[in-house]
Amino acid sequence: MRAAILSLTLLAGLLAAPPAARADDPPPCDVPAYLLSSDSTLAKVADVVKSGKPLNVLVVGSRSSTITAQEASAYPARLLAMLKERLANVPVNLSVEIQTGKTADDVAHTLVKLVEAKNPTLVIWQTGTYDAIRGIDPDDFRTAVDEGVSTLQKAGIDVVLVNLQYSPRTETMTSVPPYLDSMRAVAQQHDIPLFDRFAIMRHWNDSGDFDLFSATHGVELAKRVHACLGRALSKFVIDAAHLDQGQQNSQ
């Protein structure tokens, strides 16, 4: 029951819609530069793009990777659109594997079969929210993420970790920092980029770009948040692969 209530509250926070927002308003998407920089690199992505071979991306996530029936507006679809727009002369393919109600440990045990079936160059692994809701021991969570990342790296695949979504409505209901710290530690240990979705969404909420606290539900705001996440993540991936302007479409 507690997990169900928290899940609904997280969704409510994401779908909160400020009354003045219009569907055709462009999302602000302002993100401090330090939140989109990484000392780690995506060498496999860089090699594929430079060779002109297809770039295959696999997003492994939870229901927060989707917007009910609005899959074309969810952040993986927006990420794909932005990568196709930015990368020159490279076929880009993206698939999404939704792992509803699965802990990091559950997902880690499926990764071998997933990569065999999808043959990705890059896996974007979004995790942590369900573990926090379930109250999984943070040390067990860290071990699971560590094992999952090890599995992907042994298969010769680049990895980007995406941490929990931010919701001010759940801060008093669940302890998030231990899971954020665990993901940061695993990313540093394996020298892989961590896309700090939590900090980015908190920045948008604190700056007034999005009201993630209001109890008013609205799919339009979710679409705007996902559009911003997709745009930010595409920049994050391209920058982490150190792709120069000659490998991108001129804007």
Query: pLDDT category, 6, cuts 50, 70, 90?
Result: very low
The CATH number given to whatever domain includes residue 51 is 3.40.50.1110
Say what the pLDDT of residue 35 is. Answer: 95
Residues 6 or more apart whose Cβ sits within 8 Å of residue 78: 226, 227, 229, 230, 231, 234
Say what the pLDDT of residue 213 is. Answer: 58
Residue 111, domain member (yes or no): yes
CA distance 34 to 137: 30
Say what the pLDDT of residue 63 is. Answer: 66
CA distance 228 to 27: 6
Residues 6 or more apart whose Cβ sits within 8 Å of residue 208: none
Residue 251, domain member (yes or no): no
Residue 61, domain member (yes or no): yes
Domain count across the chain: 1
Residue 29, domain member (yes or no): no
Residue 91, domain member (yes or no): yes
Residue 249, domain member (yes or no): no
Residue 248, domain member (yes or no): no
For the chain, report the end-to-end CA distance as a whole number of angstroms: 49
Work out the average pLDDT over 103-125: 96
Residue range(s) defining the domain that contains residue 157: 2-21+34-243
Residue 27, domain member (yes or no): no
163-175 residue pLDDT tens? 998 877 766 677 8
